[in-house]
Amino acid sequence: MGILGRSSGEKAAGAQAPAPPASARPAQQVKVELGEREAEGIYANLVLMAHSASEFIFDFARLLPGTPKARVYARVVMTPQSAKSLLGVLQKNLEAYEQKHGKIPGAGEFPPSRDIGFK
């Protein structure tokens, strides 16, 4: 995790003033570095999840048609708080996607026939 500086209104470490609620704190920007290899991405069509009291584990795998096993290509481990934040952000992005592109069919549902971009 990156190191973030204090805002100008925060007290120095050891001060007794209570911290303001999270909603009152100014948003902090974080610079994210994306390496060339990571920018290529990894395709996954299966996610396996497990959790303990302190972490969530997401294994992103690829299952090929006609094969009896999947291969995990990436594992992401998160705190429960980060997993809950991921859920919220994913939900908001799915809603925005569906507003722009239409309802995403669930497993076993078939989308209405439409142009997929090939002409």
Return the C-alpha torsion angle 65, 61, 115, 110, nearest 10.
Answer: 70
Instruction: Give dist(CA 72, CA 83) in Å, integer.
Output: 19
In the chain, what are the domain boundaries? Answer: 42-101
Instruction: Give dist(CA 3, CA 96) in Å, integer.
Output: 31
Nearest to 29 by CA among 5, 10, 12: 5
Element (H, E) at 34: none
Give pLDDT tens digits for 29-74.
999 999 999 999 999 999 999 999 999 999 999 999 999 999 999 9
Contact between 56 and 77 under an 8 Å Cβ cutoff? The reply is yes
Give pLDDT tens digits for 60-114.
999 999 999 999 999 999 999 999 999 999 999 999 999 999 999 988 887 666 6
For the entire predicted model, the pTM comes to 0.66
